[in-house]
Structure 1
Amino acid sequence: MTKSYPTAHTTEVSNPRLRLLNKIKAGEFPLMTFVAIPSVRQAQIVALTGLDGIILDCEHGHIGDDAMHNSVAAISALGVSPIIRIRGPAHDIIKRALDTGAHGIMVPQINTAQEAEQVVQSSKFPPQGVRGQGSAFPAIGHGLTTPEYMKSANETILTMLQIETRAGVENVDAIAAVPGVDVVFIGPNDLAQALLGYTPARGDEPEFVDAINKIETAARKHGKWFSIMVPNGGLAKKARGRFDTVAITGDTKAIQNWYISEFEIARS
């Protein structure tokens, strides 16, 4: 692994289909959300809300391989960037996710630089990594031929790593230093659980604040984009300027919250 290879931060590849990458590179504060429900129609509905990226939650969501492939195709066809949150850093899981045509992957609970290096290796074709090629599908999500995709994928696919454990915070400087890591993403609920023993955090607990500051410092020191999940648009607006992009809650919470608030009004 060497820093001489172009990455998503330094790429000169121009592909208008890569909405999330293009906006984050331009400093436009792109917005994302999580989708946990396995439905092409759900993916399409959310993709048409004006956001820039949809994170298909294959860690905690009810999304299997078929729904993952179908949702990526539906989202990318509507001009939005599909990102897959996989369930762990295993090579075969990363390969399977990227072969859908996703514009990036998000990997949860990264604890060490070695895990980060493994993710990068599995995410990139040789010579930067060890990703294999054998599918026509991934190029489709990028609007490219397979040869074009193979030439550009290493420097345009976003590799997003979640810091949400005590070990991850302790090792975040080394994690962020790994070449090929593009986005350092805070999972605030799991981070609060790991540090404080409860969730959600109020947000002002000294240990929680210190951890976020440490993660931000590492991301900025090593030139990586910095991101977090927030529960609503108001907090997303406040995050602009500090974070490069945010994910605003997810489909299941959005549906529940809307119904709960409307039923409360109806019964009042």
Structure 2
Amino acid sequence: MAATQYATAQTTATVNPRLRLLNKLRAGEHPLLTFVALPSVRHAQIVALTGVDGIVIDCEHGHIGDDAMHNAVAAIAALGVSPVIRIRGTALDTGAHGVMVPQIITADEARQVLQSSKLPPQGVRGQSSAFPAIVHGLTTPEYMRSANETIITMVQIETAAGVQNVDAIAAVPGIDMVFVGPNDLAQSLLGYVPAKGDEPVFTGAIDKIIAAGRREGKWVGRMVNDGAAAKKERPRYDMVAITGDTKAIQNWYIAELAIARS
């Protein structure tokens, strides 16, 4: 008996103008994202007003608890930007437009991600609360009908083992994007960060990740350090995230203080 084919974020016919990241990806418009690690709703609003298309609320490495996560999702979405959560626990109950799951190493782990992020019959995610529907501008029944095919499910490939298994990971039905985590990937492959960018083992691994995504018809994304790198890399990727808030703040102060002291 053939497996049931479900619509995904890549194939959905659902139209929702609030889903800026999904809409830009489907239109091939190469959206730009950044990461936020600080737990302030005002901070989230300030970043959302920069012109970025999506913000990854970093619940893996950031200092963000459940209250801050909920507040940030609502604030970002209210300003027409897509909130994505680098995931922890019940993150989708906030109404996020996507989830990014770090350190995926095997296809079985990718399938577990799908089970947790999809409502039945595709997965085991609970109905949760009224909050997701509010963020998406829908009624709860409308959200329940569309969530599985509009929430973007991203898995990060950032280890040597993940690269080795990336073909199988990318082939998992329902995974929408493979996302390159370059710093952890460099640490895993080279033993240091950042990569110089010309190491054959590092560039070869990235080529393999991109090829796997393309072969399976999945979107491919990565993180970069600045706008110049984003401009350079965008032709190879469907989505690029430009560093994050903590690094941006530090870089600005370092540069300005150097000028002031010169």
The bucket for the TM-score relative to the shorter chain is: over 0.9
User: Residue 190 in 1 paired to residue 184 in 2?
Assistant: yes
TM-superposed CA distance for 1:110, in Å, is: 0.1
Matched letter for residue 231 of structure 2: K
Aligned mates of 2:114, 2:107 — CA distance in 1: 11
Q: 1:210 aligns with which of 180, 184, 204?
A: 204
1:135-187 per-residue CA deviation (whole Å, 9 max, x = no partner) reads 00111111111011000000000001000011100000000000110010000
Aligned mates of 1:25, 1:2 — CA distance in 2: 25
TM-superposed CA distance for 1:134, in Å, is: 3.1
Alignment of 1:1-268 (within 5 A): 2=3, 4-87=5-88, 93=89, 96-268=90-262
Aligned mates of 1:70, 1:217 — CA distance in 2: 37
> Could you tell me the TM-score, scaled by structure 1's length?
0.96
Correspondence for 1:90: none
Equivalent pairs, count: 261
Aligned mates of 1:187, 1:244 — CA distance in 2: 15
Structure 2 unaligned runs (5+)? none
SS of structure 2 residue aligned to 1:43: helix
SS of structure 2 residue aligned to 1:54: strand
Q: What do you get for the CA RMSD once the two structures are aligned? A: 1.0
Moved over 3 A (4+): none
Matched letter for residue 218 of structure 2: K
> Could you tell me the TM-score, scaled by structure 2's length?
0.98
Residue identity over aligned pairs, in percent, reads 75
Aligned mates of 1:240, 1:132 — CA distance in 2: 36
SS of structure 2 residue aligned to 1:184: strand
SS of structure 2 residue aligned to 1:159: strand
Q: Is the 8 A contact 1:2 1:179 kept in 2?
A: no
Structure 1 unaligned runs (5+)? 88-92
TM-superposed CA distance for 1:2, in Å, is: 4.2
1:238-257 per-residue CA deviation (whole Å, 9 max, x = no partner) reads 11211001000000000110
Q: Is the 8 A contact 1:3 1:179 kept in 2?
A: no
Aligned mates of 1:164, 1:62 — CA distance in 2: 21
TM-superposed CA distance for 1:3, in Å, is: 6.1
